[in-house]
Structure 1
Amino acid sequence: MTSKQLEAINLEAFTDQELDTLEKRVAKERKRRDRSRIEEAEREIRLVAAKYGIKLEEALSDLNGRTGPSRRRVPPKYRHPHDPDTTWSGRGRTPRWIQEWEQQGGSREELRIAH
């Protein structure tokens, strides 16, 4: 469809419900096309990687500046006082259970895991 043909569509003639339906169909089609392009790109990249005898994951990890296939996990520093399976590494956002512990007068040091 040319841009003149698109301009010729009288959107004012559509009801709100018809415009909503059209908008949803356009969004769905865009997602389908994006997914299709991503899948095709991945196929092509895998073929190139295979040509050089490497796995795609290895090539991508090298591009990201990492030498290993996955990130190293940080050991936990704090343990939940009532649920020993719940821990926190001390990095990132403070978990709610630690915030609640401190609000009730507890010390973070009381939750520290002895190493």
Structure 2
Amino acid sequence: MDISSLSLADLKRLLTQIPKEIERRQKDEKVRVLKEIEAIAAERGFALDELVGGGVKKLRAPVAVKYRHPGNADLSWTGRGRQPKWVQEFVQNGGSLDQLKAG
């Protein structure tokens, strides 16, 4: 494809269309390959989930609460991930994380 004769507007339009088309084609290819693999598994007497362990999720234990709001026990935080807004506000107003530690 010779793109040297295309206008700037046409090139910009292509620039936005190409990633979308690539993504669409990749999804289509994944579906096609998955169907092929499922057919091969079925020919041999297996379900695909049996071979790849799909659908089996490991259960994780809940994470213990490390910090609790002093005025509202319903507000808690495990200390993982981003600080909740109430923690940020508490610290900005002169409090410390040590004051929020759950007993």
CA distance in 2, matches of 1:99, 1:83: 15
Report which stretch shifted further, 46-55 or 99-108: 46-55
1:95 lines up with 2:87 in the alignment = no
Query: Could you tell me which residue of structure 2 aligns to residue 109 of structure 1?
Result: 98
TM-score w.r.t. structure 2 length? 0.64
- Taking only aligned residues, the RMSD between alpha carbons, in angstroms, comes to 3.1
* Aligned residue among 41, 46, 54 for 1:51: 46
CA distance in 2, matches of 1:57, 1:29: 30
State the Cα distance separating 1:40 from its structure 2 match: 3.4
Query: Could you tell me which residue of structure 2 aligns to residue 77 of structure 1?
Result: 66
Gaps of 5+ in 2: none
Query: Could you tell me which residue of structure 1 aligns to residue 20 of structure 2?
Result: 28
State the Cα distance separating 1:41 from its structure 2 match: 4.1
State the Cα distance separating 1:51 from its structure 2 match: 0.7
TM-score w.r.t. structure 1 length? 0.59
Question: Contact 1:80 / 1:111 at 8 angstroms: preserved in 2?
Answer: yes
Gaps of 5+ in 1: 1-5, 62-67
State the Cα distance separating 1:95 from its structure 2 match: 3.5
CA distance in 2, matches of 1:25, 1:16: 14
Deviations 1:43-101 (A, max 9, x none): 4566649816735123xx5xxxxxx2x43331222123455443210123433432331
Query: Between the two proteins, what is the percent identity of the paired residues?
Result: 32
1:110 aligned counterpart, secondary structure:
helix
Q: Between Structure 1 and Structure 2, which shows a larger proportion of helix residues?
A: 1
2:55 aligned counterpart, secondary structure:
helix
Query: Could you tell me which residue of structure 2 aligns to residue 65 of structure 1?
Result: none
Query: Could you tell me which residue of structure 2 aligns to residue 16 of structure 1?
Result: 8
